[in-house]
């Protein structure tokens, strides 16, 4: 009798453990689903940009309105990320992923069918809102699925490559779709990504019921969301007008007040939206700062090098996208190498600053561009170096920023990573646009506005932006060398349970 009971008990145990083990066995397929989902979000930061002139002609909106196609997405995405992270903790990451993918797809379809400017802006804004739910869920699922340090390195290397190279891939895909299909396909393509993501999530992920059912921190939600909205709006307004514009100044002052209020609320409330322990950890805080700084520097490359390739070298949209391939290749190589081999041995301190110095060197190299420069002689090698450097920054920083975080904080910790990169990109774009415009104006002082001088002024503005971006990366190298700890990021298996356990 006891033998039968024991045998029955063993069968029960096997039956009980099989689903978890099955989930674990499918972890690399889960990674593929998460990478596709994240790629969709990152692509949309740049894929529509190349299509904007064509969309503008089709829908008959002005140059001043055109910026809102990009800004609407950025405002919703950047301001709602922290809330999206907490929602994913509350309703479950699988639910958040599927809802985010579905909402993003519907918004993309509406945008592709847009018949006027208002319809397109509304669709892009809704895209950003669902992206703010989707992106933290992706990284939280990655964090809680891969807890083995060696496997975690591979997984985060892939994620880091997607996060870093997605913008450049967006330029390539946007150019191909706009040139050979229609600007509407830059939005419709999201339906394919979303369909794969939803199907994969439904089949591979076990349904979880959320890990954080604490009451929602409404004062924190309001102050964080409003503060981030005001910050992104102010930076976007500075990009299109000036830093001295009263709307720009007012928005940035409001952002400062609201975000300072948010920090005070988080220190006092019992159930904070963003527990300060998440960002005050030395490794995590340093990694978030690394994401913000590298986001600021990288967006300058995408923006001004795209201008240079198209306006000075007269590359087509497709050729411009292909021109960024050396960066993507370099980034993919070092993202894997750094997370699998180097990070477990040395920790983030030597890797991230080294990567930033490599990026700074590549950008300084690009300051030598002129109107007669060629791609292979003057751009190929700096882009490859930039990719190698960024790979040493992104993958280790993302891994370190999410390592050892408690399971119920994984969503909001992941949101912090995305928020840092998004805000960094907004700061970099606004700041570098202003500095580049000032450089062009200064160059023309005392010179006749001939076609040649105007072209030289444009190139001078681009190289000035590369120089300022290089300085951003040098400053980042010094800051992260001081802040980041040595030694491998620690993961605590008691804190990081596999999704669905």
Q: Is the dihedral of CA 196, 169, 391, 399 positive or negative?
A: negative
pLDDT tens string, the chain, 501 residues long: the values are: 444 444 444 344 333 434 444 456 788 999 999 999 999 988 887 888 888 888 888 998 887 787 788 888 988 998 999 999 889 888 888 999 999 999 999 999 999 999 999 999 999 999 999 999 999 999 989 988 887 877 888 898 898 888 888 888 888 898 899 889 999 999 999 999 999 999 999 999 887 766 666 788 899 999 999 999 999 899 888 887 888 999 999 999 999 999 999 999 999 888 888 888 888 888 889 999 999 999 898 877 888 998 899 889 999 888 988 999 999 999 999 999 998 889 988 889 999 999 999 999 999 999 999 999 999 999 999 999 999 999 999 989 998 988 888 777 788 888 899 889 889 888 888 888 889 989 999 999 999 999 999 999 999 999 999 999 999 999 999 999 999 987 766 654 434 333 333
Give one word for 316, left, alpha or beta, with left for phi > 0 and alpha for psi -120 to 50: beta
Residues 190, 265, single domain; the answer is no
Q: Are residues 239 and 347 in the same domain?
A: no
Range of the domain at 233: 217-272
Same domain, 79 and 212: yes
Burial 153-184 (b: 16+ CB within 10 A, else e): bbbbbbbbbbbbbbbbbbbbbbbbbbbeebbb
**Contact 153/344 with Cβ under 8 angstroms?**
yes
For the chain, the straight-line distance linking the first and the last C-alpha, in angstroms and rounded, comes to 32
Distance CA 117, CA 141 (A): 36
496 lies in a domain?
Answer: no
CA 60 to chain centre: 31
Residue 382 lies in a domain: yes
The answer to whether position 70 is within a domain reads yes
Do 424 and 291 touch, CB atoms closer than 8 A? yes
Q: What is the dihedral of CA 296, 83, 406, 29, to 10 degrees?
A: -80
Same domain, 210 and 148: yes
Q: Which two tokens stand for residue 292?
A: 């913000």
Q: Are residues 212 and 244 in the same domain?
A: no
* Structure token pair of residue 303: 């923006």
Phi, psi of 480 (to 5 degrees): -70, -30
Instruction: Give CA angle at 300 (123, 243), nearest 5°.
Output: 80
Domain count, the chain: 2
2 in a domain, yes or no? no
Residue 262 and residue 325 share a domain: no
CB neighbours (10 Å) of residue 118?
13
pTM: 0.86
Q: How far is CA 182 from the centre of its chain?
A: 26
**Which of 256, 272, 288 marks a domain boundary?**
272
Same domain, 34 and 154: yes
Answer yes or no: are the C-beta atoms of 72 and 126 closer than 8 Å: no
Rounded Cα distance, 495 and 406, in Å: 5
Find the CATH number of the domain harbouring 193.
Answer: 1.20.1250.20
Give the domain-ending residue among 231, 251, 272. 272
The CA dihedral of 255, 43, 140, 301, to the nearest 10 degrees, is -60
Q: Look-up: residue for tokens 């646009």?
A: 433
- Tell me the three-class secondary structure of 416-461, residue by residue: HHHHHHHHHHHHHHHHHHHHHHHHHHHHHCCCCCCHHHHHHHHHHH
Residues 80 and 178 in one domain: yes
Question: Is residue 169 domain-resident?
Answer: yes
Same domain, yes or no, for 184 and 250?
Answer: no
* Residue 297 within a domain: yes
Residue 256 sits in the same domain as residue 336:
no
461 and 396 within one domain: yes
Residues 140, 93: contact at Cβ < 8 Å? Answer: yes
Residues, the chain, total?
501
Give dist(CA 396, CA 156) in Å, integer.
8
* Residue 501 within any structural domain of the chain: no
How many angstroms separate the CA atoms of 184 and 203, rounded? 30
Please report whether residue 342 resides in a domain: yes
Do 453 and 317 have their domain in common?
yes
Give the CA distances from residue 120 to residues 67, 103, 130, 309, 345, in Å, rounded to whole numbers and listed in that order. 12, 15, 16, 28, 49
Q: What is the C-alpha separation between 419 and 96, in angstroms, rounded?
A: 17
CB neighbour burial string for 409-424, b if at least 16 within 10 angstroms, e if fewer: bbbbbbbbbbbbbbbb
């Amino acid at each position: 009798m006891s033998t039968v009971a024991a045998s029955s008990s063993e069968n029960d145990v096997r039956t009980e453990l099989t689903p978890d083990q099955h989930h674990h066995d499918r972890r690399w397929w889960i990674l593929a689903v998460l990478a596709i989902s994240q790629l969709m979000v990152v692509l949309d930061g740049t894929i529509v940009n190349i299509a904007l002139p064509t969309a503008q002609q089709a829908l008959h909106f002005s140059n001043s309105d055109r910026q809102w196609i990009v800004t609407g997405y950025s405002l919703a995405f950047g301001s709602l990320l922290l809330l999206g992270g907490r929602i994913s903790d509350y309703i479950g990451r699988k639910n958040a992923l599927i809802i985010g993918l579905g909402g993003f797809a519907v918004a993309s379809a509406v945008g592709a069918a847009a018949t006027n400017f208002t319809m397109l802006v509304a669709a892009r804004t809704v895209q950003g809102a669902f992206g703010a739910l989707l992106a933290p869920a992706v990284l939280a699922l990655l964090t809680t699925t891969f807890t083995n340090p060696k496997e975690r390195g591979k997984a985060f290397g892939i994620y880091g490559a997607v996060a870093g190279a997605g913008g450049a891939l967006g330029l390539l895909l946007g150019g191909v779709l706009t040139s050979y299909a229609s600007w509407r396909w830059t939005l419709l393509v999201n339906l394919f990504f979303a369909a794969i993501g939803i199907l994969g999530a439904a089949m591979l992920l076990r349904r979880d019921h959320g890990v954080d059912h604490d009451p929602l921190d409404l004062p924190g939600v309001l102050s964080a969301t409003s503060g981030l909205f005001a910050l992104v709006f102010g930076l976007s307004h500075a990009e299109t007008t000036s830093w001295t514009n009263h709307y720009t100044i007012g928005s940035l002052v409001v952002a400062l007040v609201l975000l300072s209020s948010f920090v005070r609320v988080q220190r006092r409330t019992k159930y904070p939206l963003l527990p300060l322990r998440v960002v005050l950890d030395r490794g995590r805080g340093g990694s978030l700062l690394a994401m913000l700084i590298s986001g600021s520097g990288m967006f300058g490359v995408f923006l001004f090098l795209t201008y240079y390739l198209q306006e000075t070298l007269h590359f087509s949209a497709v050729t411009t996208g292909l021109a960024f391939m050396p960066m993507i290749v370099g980034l993919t190589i070092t993202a894997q190498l750094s997370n699998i081999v180097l990070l477990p041995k040395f920790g983030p301190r030597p890797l991230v600053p080294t990567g930033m110095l490599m990026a700074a060197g590549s950008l300084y190299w690009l300051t030598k561009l002129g109107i007669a420069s060629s791609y292979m002689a003057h751009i190929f090698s700096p882009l490859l170096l930039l990719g190698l450097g960024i790979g040493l920054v992104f993958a280790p920083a993302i891994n370190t920023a999410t390592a050892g975080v408690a399971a119920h904080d994984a969503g909001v910790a992941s949101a912090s990573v995305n928020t840092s990169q998004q805000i960094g990109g907004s700061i970099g774009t606004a700041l570098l646009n202003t500095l580049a415009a000032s450089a062009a104006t200064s160059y023309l002082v005392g010179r006749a506005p001939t076609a040649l001088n105007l072209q030289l002024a444009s190139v001078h503005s681009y190289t000035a932006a590369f120089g300022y971006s290089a300085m951003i990366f040098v400053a980042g190298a010094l800051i992260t060398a001081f802040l980041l700890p040595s030694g491998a990021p620690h993961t605590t298996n008691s804190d990081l349970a596999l999704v669905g356990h």
